[in-house]
Amino acid sequence: MSFTGGARIPQTPTLPQGETVASYGTYLEAQKAVDHLSDHQFPVQMVTIVGTDLRMVERVTGRLTYARVAMGGFGSGAWFGVFIGLLFLLSGGSSGILFAAVLFGGAAGLLLAVLVYATSRGRRDFTSQSQIVAAQYAVLCRAERAHEARQMLREVGGVRVGAATPVPPAAPMGARPSDPTGAYGQPAAPGRPGQPPAGPGQPPAQPRYGQLAPQPPAEPRYGQLAPQPPAAPPAGPETPGAEKQD
């Protein structure tokens, strides 16, 4: 149940603001802590309960059989028949119409439930209930009244000092812990980290994702001089006294 005049709830999903004043293992303990603050005239509209490490828990309640399906279908159909019978009774009908509507509704609900269970072919022969459960519940309060809330909650326990755990910033795109450059699109050093460079006669290592591959030299365009090979060094003067051997 909600009442007017309380704190305004954001229309879009928004992270809670404030400091963590206490932490508990169950929701009942967190609810007891907030109720303790309310009993001491604390402005509880500054308080937020945050559940962390959410898990979906499905508890199996029993085995599903034809008898159980039939009883459940008859009960739901009978309640619908009561509603229809009351409408006829208020419009001037007799009490017999109410009894007939209950029987007819129960029979229709029983038949429909059995048919639906038969078409499932035993794929789900059990009943269960699902819940969303958190591993820990933190009580947050705005910074201007956080110290006062901690003082009041010392009687309940679970008091914590410090702000909420900040979310670490996301790593830049393309950066890897083992990348020596640490930036996307920059050429890396020859070879891979932790590996020796390629020796003579071995093909060079393939570039990783995000690194520039070696490009072949561009062909000269029309009207440009092609690159010339380096000229050979001139031969030096022959050493005097050197003679050819036969």
β-pair partners for 22: 139, 159
The pLDDT value given to residue 217: 64
Q: What is the pLDDT of residues 130-171, one digit of tens each?
A: 999 999 999 999 999 999 999 999 888 878 765 444 444 445
Pick from 53-67, 88-102, 162-176: least confident: 162-176
CB 158 within 8 A of CB 23: yes
Query: DSSP characters for 28-89?
Result: HHHHHHHHHHHHTT--GGGEEEEEEEEEEEEEEEEE--HHHHHHHHHHHHHHHHHHHHHHHH
29 vs 50: CA distance, rounded Å: 13
Q: What is the pLDDT of residues 28-64, one digit of tens each?
A: 999 999 999 999 999 999 999 999 889 999 999 988 8
Pick from 7-11, 51-55, 83-87, 115-119: least confident: 7-11
108 vs 129: CA distance, rounded Å: 26
Domains of the chain: 19-55+134-153 (3.30.70), 65-124 (no CATH)
